[in-house]
Each structure stands twice: as structure tokens, then as C-alpha cells.
Amino acid sequence: MQETDKIWMNGELVDWADAKVHVGTHALHYGSGVFEGIRCYETEKGPAVFRLRDHLERLENSAKVLYMDLPYAREELRQATHELIAANGLPSCYIRPVAYYGYGELGVATTGNPVDVVIMSFPWGAYLGEEGQRTGITTMVSTWERVGPNVIPHVAKATGIYLNSMLATTEARRAGYDEAIMLTRDGYVADGPGENIFVVKNGTLLTPPLSMSILPGITRDTVIHLARALGYMVEETLLIRTDLYLADEAFMVGTATEVAPIRAVDDREIGVGPITLELQQAYLDVVNGRDQRWSDWLDVVATSRTPAEV
Ligand code: PPE
């Protein structure tokens, strides 16, 4: 992780090295936290956070599912994010807010523990590698199934759920693949450990519906809007693993990943297709502020530096 100057911690900007927690922190023992992954891009108007309000709304939803009362309102967290970005002075960065049950009582019940809120911002390059963005990534269907809606609620971006992702991604990397794809207990395609999935078949985009144990991805939603604006049909539909093998094109999307072509699934070659590359470019144009039609999605941060000086 590339260190920056400051971290926003419970209402204050603290030095990176001082943003510490006690080993008795509830979330460290039980995974009782909720988080977000957000990107800020360098645009002509300055650093702009992509769909910040939508990410903070999802954070609130995640907290609600975990019986957690966030001690800050959405607008306060939005201002805190702006303040942090301005303080660290990076034209583009990844932003990681985390809210978690802190230090107080041990035991799985959360009573007696404060809710701490932290926001980090730091540089984060291509999640699945620069080369993967161009030539596509290799994937394997994981032996780990996606957590079901009555196991841990997938709608919440909760830290504990990511043990499921960690197992899948580690298994895939150890087997020599770039990333895993997880299926539900019934064998339907869900998502990647940190990405949603799309398939292209006969010119139509297909993606699993939100009930398929997937995170309601903001990039997924963005790509659906962009694809429809480009004239493509998008269907939210059940997919099985052979739909992946026999796809004309397939790709993963997420805040960290952006749009990454999948060139193979379980050693069946798919290759990198034109619709994937068109959507990848459209996405990068939007987030970097080069397509004015979607400028409402960009939350521009006021900084002391003008873009010209950066
Ligand atoms: N599914 C999962 C399981 C997931 O973690 C993410 C985001 C997505 C789908 C895509 O959601 P969205 O970012 O709203 O489009 N994963 C975040 C964290 C990855 C990590 O390793 O940490 C991210 O992309 O920031």
C-alpha cells in the first residue's frame, strides 16, 4: 500500500502512521465492519470522486443491515472525503471508508462497542494488472460458493463477507489464474471476489440479477447505463457456468477493477471482444470527465492546487 499523509479518523485528520486501533477491536475478531471502495479521478475541473453519494448511500445501507448506527450523516462523510483528498493532494486516488464496531466489549454481540469511522485515500493502480486491462484476464470457477442471502447478506459490503472472497481469490491465484468467479449454491453465476460479471452473447449484454448473491455494484449500474446509451440490450438474467465458456465476450467490472476483459474461463478461451473494449473506453471517458453527458456522477473536489499546477 502506498502511504499518504493523512487518514480521516472519527472526525479528525491524523497522520498516516498514527491511525491505529486496539487489538481488542470487535471488528478485528468478528469481521463486524462495513466499507466502501471509491475512486477519485483527475479531470479538467480538478480531482473528481465518481458517484460519491451513491457509495455513501450503500455504506448506510450496509450499516443498517448490520444493526449499525453510523455516527456521521452522508453529507458529513462526503465533506470528510473531500477534506481528506484535498489534504493528501493526489489528483487521483482510491478511497476506502470503513465503519466498524470498535474497542469496548469482547463477545459477538455488538453492545458496548463504539462505531468507529475511518477514511483512507491512497494511489491504487489497475486491480487485475495493467496488462490484464488490455489483453484480458484468466479466471477459474471457484470451488468456494458465494455466501447465500441467509448466510451473510450480500447486499451489505461487510468486511466479514470478504473471507469468502479471500478464499476464492487465493485459490485462483495459487492455481495460476488471475481471478475467481463464484457460483451460488444452486450453481448460478454470482460475481467475482471483488467484481461483478457481464457476458456478451449475440450482441446482448447479460449479467446476473441482484438476487444472485451479488453486491449491488455501482460500476455494474454505470456500465448498464452506458451500454444502453450505446444502443445495446442489457438483460439481468440467470447464468450457468457453461454460459461463461460459450460467451462471445465476458468482462468483470468494479470500482477497483474498472472494466477488465475476461479472456478465459476454466481454460476455455474467449478472447477479448470489441463490445468489451468499447465499454471499457466509454467507462474511462465518463470517470475521467471526458463525457459531459454523465457529469452529474462526478463530485469535484476543491483543492488549493489548480489542475494546471499538478
Ligand atoms: N462484487 C464484489 C464482491 C465487490 O467487492 C465489488 C467491489 C463489486 C462487486 C463491484 O462493486 P462496485 O465497486 O460498486 O462497482 N470491490 C471493491 C473492493 C475490492 C478490494 O479488493 O478491496 C472495489 O472494487 O473497490
Q: Which are the contacts of 141, defined by CB distance < 8 A and separation ≥ 6?
A: 180, 181, 182, 183, 241, 244, 265, 266
Q: Which residues of the chain have pLDDT under 50?
A: 308-310
Residue 33, ligand 1, Cβ within 6 A: no
Pocket test for ligand 1, best of 212, 255, 286 (most atoms within 8 A of CB): 255
Ligand 1, atom 25, lies closest to the CA of 37
- Cα angle: 53, vertex 54, 60; to 5 degrees: 90
Closest ligand 1 atom to 94 CA: 25
pLDDT at 305: 62
Reported pTM? 0.96
**Beta partners for residue 122, in sequence order:** 94
What does the H/E/C string look like for 81-116? Answer: HHHHHHHHCCCCEEEEEEEEECCCCCCCCCCCCCEE
CA distance 61 to 52: 14
Cα separation, 80 vs 13, in Å, equals 9
Place of cell 461463461: 244
Q: Letter for the amino acid at 45? A: K
- Please report the beta strands in the chain, taking only residues with DSSP state E, as ranges in sequence order: 6-9, 12-15, 33-35, 38-43, 46-50, 93-101, 115-122, 137-141, 179-181, 196-201, 204-207, 234-236, 249-254, 258-265, 268-269, 298-300
Count of helices and strands (H, E) across the chain = 8, 16
> Separation of 143 CA from ligand 1 center, angstroms?
20
CA distance 3 to 17: 9
Does the C-beta of 222 come closer than 6 Å to ligand 1? no
pLDDT digits (tens, 9 = 90+) for 14-73: 999 999 999 999 999 999 999 999 999 999 999 999 999 999 999 999 999 999 999 999
